[in-house]
């Protein structure tokens, strides 16, 4: 009804004649003679307009026929009998000028469609692609139960005695069968999914055979129920790994419910109180089943490197993450540390040039880990150099103490100088980061053939590819904790300088917030080893002292904080601030009673930086990952370029809201 009314009210000849008829009817009550005269005039005008419109349409059809076929002698019936639907319309308002019988049958109209808009007949149709100079509509148009691919072009109309105008010419090709076959092809492509029980050994530890059988049977049943209804194949490859082959049509449903199997498995717990968790790797958009399996394997590796209890889909270009909101459990073994130590020892001994590089704007953990690696190299008789930008590093007194040591004279080198001195077989050891865009120098990383990685952050999608050694443990508190474990298997305590032990200890203290966050038994073992090696806690405290100006700046940031939600504080400072000071301000905010998560926004080097902390259920790493950042569950950071601080704040609050919604609750 509304559509018919809108058509009626358009400024066309129909509306004008309707007004004239109404006016003539009203005139009957005043003067029948005048009304009769008006009726005669209306009839004459109607006949004249019909003749003129018929003549215009005839001229237009002749012109379009000439443009389309480039043969002037073709009869006009060829246009009407064109084998595919065809329509001519105005570009400015999509008003239909002419259509053939095929288009009328396609739209279900038996009469002409003149003076109607093409958007009313086919709501999804737009002229944007024609105006952009394209001849093929990028989208398939659905009309009723059929699907059409639309081709078109722009023609210039110059009818006789009329102003030049531009018209659109569209041809509609029925591709229903092809489109259905294409959709079925993509929907039926095989998907390889690997499911790993993350903490299998912990679940069955200290339980009886009967309890073990019941526990594993419960897990098998839950995983089987999740895969039912897909027509897929579920196989148990190992005691803690499953292979699930299914069609791609079911993957959207799994993603829509955020892989509910993660929550179902978490409901299973051992008699000792340990909840089961699984990691899922999915390979999609592959050219073969073998490639799909390889993608799934990479997905599992990524999920486990980020702490497990999550699903990761891998395609040709990127990773997509689901879940990963549970606290990481310490599951490292000393066996892996010993193996990594022996491998690193072999690579260092076989290299003549060793370079160690952390992330941009190095902090105590980055520099401490680099110093620990230098200690290993020196004990093996190989001199290592630390690539660092002295002007942007934020380690304070630690750097001054190291520069005063004879063993570290000339050991620090700027990135541009290292690029000139490095050789093709030099070994580059990256510490405290796994992302190429966060290292001190991306150019050095790209040019080096032998790269080793030592890191504790959750692995990001753009991680360093194919390192010769990858000592990556997201369960560790810090990179310095990992380096301390390597020191135990590669050097004697007497080989460790006191300043080196204190540097590594300072990194652990900083990342654990004085041993209050993300600590495990291995953290205290590493600290005890460093203490035995001569580290002074008093000197470590001195290394971590701030100057007076930095302290004032930190508390000025804290003063600007506001509660966004209950338990969430956000401080936004438009004044350029030091990254270390901003991180300390975020730490101060979570020390306030009732605050479980904090976010500090600050300006730095033409970008907007974010430093985040959490001591509650909110995972700040997942939130900042949506803004291009990273980190771990309790500590994360990001740098956003090309946006104002106001825009970044809006995106941050949107990411917080999304995370709260996905967790199933909303804080007031």
Q: Which CATH number fits the domain that encloses residue 421? A: 3.90.1640.10
**Average pLDDT of the segment spanning 326-338:** 66
**314, 281 contact by CB (below 8 A):** yes
Identify the DSSP state of 463.
Answer: P
Q: Which residue has the higher pLDDT, 342 or 566?
A: 342
Reported residue count of the chain is 668
Q: Which residue has the higher pLDDT, 546 or 154?
A: 154
Single out the residue of 479, 441, 445 nearest to residue 465, CA to CA.
445
Beta bridge partners of residue 637, listed in sequence order: 611, 630
Question: Is residue 43 classed exposed, middle or buried when 0-12, 13-18 and 19+ CB atoms within 10 A define those classes?
Answer: exposed
- For β-strands 86-90 and 165-174, DSSP reports them as antiparallel
Question: Which among 296, 323, 350 is the end of a domain?
Answer: 323
Least confident of 53-62, 239-248, 471-480, 639-648: 53-62
Residue 478 lies in a domain: yes
Q: Which residue intervals of 350-409 are DSSP H helices?
A: 364-379, 397-403
- C-alpha distances in Å from residue 169, one per residue of 90, 91, 359: 9, 9, 58
Percent of the chain with pLDDT over 90: 29
**221, 161 contact by CB (below 8 A):** no
Residue 305 lies in a domain: yes
Residue 48 lies in a domain: yes
What's the confidence (pLDDT) of residue 430? Answer: 95
Q: What is the pLDDT of residues 40-92, one digit of tens each?
A: 777 777 787 777 777 766 666 665 555 554 433 333 455 556 678 888 888 87
Q: Do both 553 and 537 map to the same domain?
A: no
Q: Which residue has the higher pLDDT, 336 or 35?
A: 336
Residue 560 lies in a domain: yes
Q: Do both 458 and 532 map to the same domain?
A: yes
Q: What is the pLDDT of residues 385-443, one digit of tens each?
A: 999 988 777 777 888 889 899 999 989 999 999 998 988 788 999 999 988 988 999 99
Q: Do both 400 and 531 map to the same domain?
A: yes
Question: Which among 484, 516, 543 is the end of a domain?
Answer: 543
Residue 39 lies in a domain: yes
What's the confidence (pLDDT) of residue 223? Answer: 93
- C-alpha distances in Å from residue 109, one per residue of 99, 144, 236, 442: 11, 12, 58, 63
Q: Do both 516 and 387 map to the same domain?
A: yes
What's the confidence (pLDDT) of residue 8? Answer: 42
What's the confidence (pLDDT) of residue 246? Answer: 93
What's the confidence (pLDDT) of residue 39? Answer: 77
Question: Which among 525, 543, 561 is the end of a domain?
Answer: 543
Single out the residue of 487, 490, 482, 473 nearest to residue 532, CA to CA.
487
Q: Do both 345 and 484 map to the same domain?
A: yes
Residue 109 lies in a domain: no
What's the confidence (pLDDT) of residue 667? Answer: 44
Using DSSP, state whether 288 is helix, strand or coil: coil
Q: Which residue intervals of 432-535 are DSSP H helices?
A: 442-447, 479-490, 498-511, 521-532
- C-alpha distances in Å from residue 26, one per residue of 19, 20, 42, 363: 11, 10, 14, 89
Q: What is the pLDDT of residues 515-536, one digit of tens each?
A: 887 788 889 999 999 999 989 9
Residue 74 lies in a domain: no
What's the confidence (pLDDT) of residue 7? Answer: 45
What's the confidence (pLDDT) of residue 75? Answer: 39
Q: Which two tokens stand for residue 484?
A: 């301390």
What's the confidence (pLDDT) of residue 1? Answer: 45
Domain CATH number, residue 635: 3.10.310.30
Q: Do both 338 and 291 map to the same domain?
A: no
Q: CA Rg, the chain, in Å?
A: 36
Q: Do both 488 and 590 map to the same domain?
A: no
Q: Do both 502 and 378 map to the same domain?
A: yes
Q: Say how many CA atoms lie within 13 Å of 520 toward its Cβ.
A: 16
What's the confidence (pLDDT) of residue 635? Answer: 85
What's the confidence (pLDDT) of residue 63? Answer: 58
Mean pLDDT score across all residues of the chain: 83
**446, 462 contact by CB (below 8 A):** no
Q: Which residue has the higher pLDDT, 644 or 15?
A: 644
Residue 632 reports pLDDT greater than 80 = no
Give the count of beta carbons closer than 10 Å to the beta carbon of residue 603: 17
pTM over 0.75: no
**150, 171 contact by CB (below 8 A):** yes
Q: Do both 535 and 606 map to the same domain?
A: no
- Domain total of the chain: 4
Q: Do both 308 and 350 map to the same domain?
A: no
Q: Do both 416 and 516 map to the same domain?
A: yes
The residue segments making up the domain with residue 228 are 209-244+256-323
- For β-strands 412-413 and 384-387, DSSP reports them as parallel
- For β-strands 597-604 and 607-614, DSSP reports them as antiparallel
CA distance 635 to 637: 7
Residue 580 lies in a domain: yes
**Average pLDDT of the segment spanning 367-394:** 90
Estimate to the nearest angstrom the gap between the alpha carbon of 454 and the chain centroid: 24
Residues of 463-486 as b/e, b for ≥16 C-beta within 10 angstroms?
bbeebebbbbbbbbbbbbbbbbbb
What's the confidence (pLDDT) of residue 12? Answer: 55
- C-alpha distances in Å from residue 48, one per residue of 8, 20, 39, 69, 111: 21, 15, 14, 32, 22
Q: Do both 452 and 553 map to the same domain?
A: no
Q: State the DSSP string of 400-417.
A: HHHHTSGGGTT-EE-HHH
**Average pLDDT of the segment spanning 336-358:** 90
């Amino acid at each position: 009804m509304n559509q018919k009314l809108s058509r009626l009210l358009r400024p066309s000849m129909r509306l004008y004649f309707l007004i004239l008829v109404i006016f003539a009817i009203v005139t009957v009550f005043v003067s029948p003679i005048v009304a009769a005269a008006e009726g005669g005039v209306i009839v004459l005008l109607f006949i004249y307009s019909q003749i003129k419109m018929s003549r215009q349409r005839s001229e237009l059809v002749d012109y379009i026929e000439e443009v389309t076929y480039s043969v002037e002698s073709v009869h006009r019936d060829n246009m009407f009998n064109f084998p595919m639907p065809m329509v001519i319309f105005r570009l400015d308002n999509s008003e239909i000028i002419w259509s053939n019988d095929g288009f009328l049958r396609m739209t279900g109209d038996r009469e002409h469609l003149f003076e109607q808009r093409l958007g009313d007949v086919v709501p999804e149709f737009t002229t944007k692609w024609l105006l952009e100079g394209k001849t093929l509509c990028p989208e398939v148009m659905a009309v009723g139960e059929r699907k059409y691919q639309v081709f078109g072009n722009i023609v210039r109309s110059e009818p006789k005695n009329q102003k030049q105008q531009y018209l659109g010419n569209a041809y509609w090709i029925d591709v229903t069968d092809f489109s259905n076959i294409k959709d079925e092809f993509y929907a039926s492509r095989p998907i390889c999914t690997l499911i790993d029980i993350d903490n299998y050994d912990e679940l069955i530890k200290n339980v009886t055979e009967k309890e073990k059988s019941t526990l594993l049977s419960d897990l098998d049943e839950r995983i089987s129920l999740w895969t039912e209804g897909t027509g897929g194949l579920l196989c148990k490859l190992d005691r803690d790994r499953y292979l699930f082959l299914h069609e791609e049509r079911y993957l959207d449903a799994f993603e829509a419910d955020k892989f509910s199997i993660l929550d179902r498995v978490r409901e299973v717990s051992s008699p000792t109180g340990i909840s089961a968790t699984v990691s899922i790797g999915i390979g999609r958009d592959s050219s073969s089943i073998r490639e799909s399996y390889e993608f799934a394997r990479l997905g599992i590796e990524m999920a486990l490197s980020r702490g497990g209890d999550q699903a990761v889909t891998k395609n040709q270009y990127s990773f997509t993450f689901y879940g990963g909101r549970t606290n990481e459990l310490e599951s490292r073994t000393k066996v892996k540390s010993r193996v990594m130590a022996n491998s690193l020892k072999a690579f260092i001994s076989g290299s003549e040039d060793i370079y160690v590089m952390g992330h941009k704007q190095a902090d105590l953990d980055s520099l401490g880990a680099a110093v620990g690696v230098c200690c290993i190299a020196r004990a093996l008789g190989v001199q290592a150099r630390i690539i660092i930008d002295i002007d942007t590093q934020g380690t304070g007194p630690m750097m001054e103490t190291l520069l005063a040591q004879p063993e570290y004279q000339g050991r620090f080198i700027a990135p541009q100088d290292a690029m000139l001195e490095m050789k093709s077989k030099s070994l580059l050891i990256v510490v405290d980061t796994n992302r190429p865009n966060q290292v001190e120098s991306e150019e050095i990383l790209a040019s080096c053939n032998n790269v080793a990685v030592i890191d504790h952050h959750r692995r990001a999608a753009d991680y360093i590819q194919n390192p010769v050694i990858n000592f990556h443990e997201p369960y560790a508190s810090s990179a310095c904790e990992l380096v301390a474990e390597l020191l135990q298997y590669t050097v004697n305590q007497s080989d460790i300088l006191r300043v080196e032990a204190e540097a590594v200890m300072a990194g652990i203290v900083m990342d654990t917030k004085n041993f209050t966050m993300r600590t495990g038994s291995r953290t205290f073992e590493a600290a005890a080893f460093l203490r035995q090696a001569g580290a002074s806690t008093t000197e470590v405290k001195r290394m971590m002292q701030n100057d007076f100006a930095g302290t004032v700046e930190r508390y000025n940031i804290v003063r600007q904080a506001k509660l966004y939600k209950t338990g969430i504080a956000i401080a936004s400072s438009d004044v350029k601030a030091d990254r270390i000071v901003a991180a300390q301000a975020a730490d101060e905010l979570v020390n306030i009673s009732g605050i479980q998560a904090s976010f500090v926004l600050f300006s730095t080097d033409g970008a907007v930086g974010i430093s985040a902390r959490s001591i509650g259920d909110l995972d700040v790493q997942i939130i900042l990952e949506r803004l291009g950042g990273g980190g771990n569950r309790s500590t994360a950071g990001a740098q956003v370029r090309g946006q104002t601080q106001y825009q970044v704040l809006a995106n941050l609050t949107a990411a917080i809201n999304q995370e709260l919604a996905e967790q199933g609750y909303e804080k007031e």
